[in-house]
Amino acid sequence: MLSLFGTIAILFALFFSLLQTVVPLFGYWRNNPFLLAFARPAAYGQGVYVFIAYVLLTIAFVNNEFTIAYVATNSHPTLPLLYRLSALWGSHEGSILLWIVMLNIWTIAFSFHNNLAYRSLTLAILGLISFFFLCFLLFTSNPFLTATTLQTGRDLNPLLQDPGFIIHPPMLYMGYVGFSVTFAITQAALLQGNLNQTWATLTRQFAIAAWCFLTLGIALGSWWAYRVLGWGGFWFWDPVENASLLPWLAGTAFIHVLMIVEKHHTTKNWAALLAMFTFILSLLGTFLVRSGLLVSVHTFANDPARGLFLLILLTILITAALLVYVVRSPSICSSSIKSAFFSREMFLLTNSHLLFIAMLTILLGTLYPLILDALRIGSISIGAPYFNLVMLPQVFFVMILMSLAAYSQWKSSSGLPWLKVFKKLLLSSVSAVILLWIIAHRLDGLAILCLTLSIWIILNTWPLLRISPGMTIAHIGFAILIIGILLSSFLNEEREVRIQTGQATSLGPYDFYFASTEGMIGPNYRGIRARFEVTKNKRHIAFLYPEKRIYPIRDMVMTKVAIHPSLFRDIYLVLGDPFTQNDWSIRLYYKPFIRWVWFGAMMMIIGGLLSIKQHKRLA
């Protein structure tokens, strides 16, 4: 019965999404305010049935309804309840339903906004997006299809049985889908020819909110990868990781350009294009993950039919959006910026172009191997060396402009106070040299340069805390993130050793004593837990318990790393393969300042939230 009711709920949601789209658009064409107002109740109707479908699928997982194929594929009676709840988005069909749920949350949130000029048309466009995805869900990815044979469940992928997976996908999807609201507002404004300051103010609030969720989702994803995959890193330039970074870069550029629109009513066309590109990149990420084109621990589907459906959806939306832009943009063409070279708007505009170029660079590196393979020209693998090489100079220039913007003013005709610039730059450079010498006893030109720019940003933006707390905290958070990436890479130490119980080994200033191993039995796995005592100068630091787990239902072996965290370093221990019963290989990592990566990301999110609050107060 759950299967039948779930499918019916999706059908009703599809019906209401069609009403949410067609009736208001017809009302706009006929200039009928009553038909335009129909968008809001239709959105509520769609939301009710989407949430009913989500609740029914959740009940199916909780009650182990293995008559539903999707539940049987991703759950098991022994799977802990918390992971049964998150197993709903553990594979393709459920993740698409989650995508639609998030879209409805954003839609309902926007429906409460009191801006009547944009509300109905925006809801209609959001309804159109939802209609396409509900069609995709119903006709290619229905999570309520019944199983053809009686099953007891295949369990959730062990890689996903981690607390990080419980919160990472919902936050990432909230970021992805949030940019659909900014896209819809922009399309509504283009249709009405109202790409004005009101549009910029309204759009920027939702853009920052979506950006905060996307930042949180990316940060949680890197934290999950660091804790689960066992290689000691937090970013691998995996194509699916890149797919989440692309809309983040475009969205960051979009937010900064909207500031110019609010202040001077210029660069409206560029802002409208960035709104479209950010949303398109969010859809592109969905397409890449679920089309089967990529091979990754993050991908969920390998079905060409689904990939083709998503490609058609992407093509229709891109074509329609660009058509609206081409037709309407001449009527809202904004004047060029007439400001001094060292004005704040020029720095913001230049940085937006740099961020867009960085996005294109990553997009090229991600899609180029796929294009070569599709054309049967050959195969090539593009990894971390390429991305690190091409992104490093771009990050340098972005950081320089971020710091110089702190000295600039809107429409300022005077140059920058170069004496102050060089004083703080010199102070930053000296601080970087001293800091590196203290913590590493060695100097590196690239490390000094990166650290100098990061300290420079902090020194320059800190005085603006009282004037613009959100922007200041977000920029300082970015600088701290860069410091974390730099120092964790520059000072990282790692070692792989063979060790027996009762022996000790060392890494840096730390000694690791292999005390014992013991068998363990979990709810849906069995394994071995090792016990290591970590000391420094014969002083006890911690006990670490790395594990080797076997998940019999999936017949998979998983390594659970042991980490002792602190503000300035992580001790990271991975239990490798056994040679004999008491003879093991282990990998040891010393990761200085690694926590600063996520601390910086959290500061950026806090800064974004404060910007929304300040923005509402000033609006």
Whole-angstrom Cα distance, residue 342 to residue 409?
8
Whole-angstrom Cα distance, residue 64 to residue 54?
15
Question: Residue 195's pLDDT band (boundaries 50, 70, 90)?
Answer: confident
Beta-bridge mates of residue 493: 590
Q: Once rounded to an integer, what is the mean pLDDT over residues 566-580?
A: 94
How confident is the prediction for the chain on average, in pLDDT?
90
Whole-angstrom Cα distance, residue 404 to residue 572?
38
Question: Residue 423's pLDDT band (boundaries 50, 70, 90)?
Answer: confident
Where residue 163 falls (left for φ over 0; alpha for ψ -120 to 50; beta otherwise) is alpha
Give this prediction's pTM.
Answer: 0.94
Grouping H, G, I as helix, E, B as strand and the rest as coil, residue 548 is: strand
Which alpha helices (DSSP H) does 112-238 contain, by range? 116-140, 163-192, 197-228
Q: Once rounded to an integer, what is the mean pLDDT over residues 580-607?
A: 95
Q: How many CA atoms lie within 13 A of 207 on its CB side?
A: 33
186, 329, 334 from 324: Cα distances, Å: 10, 8, 17
Tell me the one-letter amino acid at 317: L
Q: Which residue would you say has higher pLDDT here, 592 or 307?
A: 592
Whole-angstrom Cα distance, residue 85 to residue 66?
15
Q: Which residue do the tokens 């479908």 mark?
A: 53
Q: How many CA atoms lie within 13 A of 565 on its CB side?
A: 11
Q: Once rounded to an integer, what is the mean pLDDT over residues 535-554?
A: 95
pLDDT at 301 over 90: no
pLDDT at 105 over 60: yes
Q: Which of 210-219, 319-328, 338-347 has the lowest mean pLDDT?
A: 338-347
pLDDT at 299 over 60: no
Predicted local confidence at residue 414, as pLDDT? 63
Predicted local confidence at residue 380, as pLDDT? 78
- In 3D space, the residue among 78, 62, 68 whose CA is nearest the CA of residue 553 turns out to be 78
The tokens of 288 are what?
Answer: 């890449």
Q: Once rounded to an integer, what is the mean pLDDT over residues 156-167?
A: 91
Q: Once rounded to an integer, what is the mean pLDDT over residues 418-422?
A: 77
Predicted local confidence at residue 82, as pLDDT? 94
Predicted local confidence at residue 615, as pLDDT? 66
The tokens of 226 are what?
Answer: 């660091």
How does DSSP classify residue 68? B
Q: Which residue would you say has higher pLDDT here, 482 or 618?
A: 482
Question: Residue 292's pLDDT band (boundaries 50, 70, 90)?
Answer: low
Question: Residue 616's pLDDT band (boundaries 50, 70, 90)?
Answer: low
How does DSSP classify residue 91? S
Question: Residue 149's pLDDT band (boundaries 50, 70, 90)?
Answer: confident
Q: Once rounded to an integer, what is the mean pLDDT over residues 397-404?
A: 91
Predicted local confidence at residue 596, as pLDDT? 97
Q: What are phi and psi of 408, to 5 degrees?
A: -95, 165
The tokens of 358 are what?
Answer: 């960085």
DSSP strands (E only) in 60-159: none
Predicted local confidence at residue 533, as pLDDT? 97
Predicted local confidence at residue 442, as pLDDT? 73
Predicted local confidence at residue 291, as pLDDT? 58
pLDDT at 144 over 50: yes
Predicted local confidence at residue 297, as pLDDT? 47
The tokens of 131 are what?
Answer: 């209609």
Whole-angstrom Cα distance, residue 214 to residue 247?
9
Predicted local confidence at residue 607, as pLDDT? 96
pLDDT at 398 over 70: yes
Sorted by sequence, the CB contacts under 8 Å of residue 172 that are 6+ apart come out as 213, 214, 217, 218, 220, 221, 244
H/E stretch holding 303 reads none
Predicted local confidence at residue 128, as pLDDT? 95
What is the per-residue pLDDT across 489-526, written as a single tens digit (0 to 9) for each? 999 999 999 999 999 999 989 999 999 999 999 999 99
pLDDT at 618 over 60: no
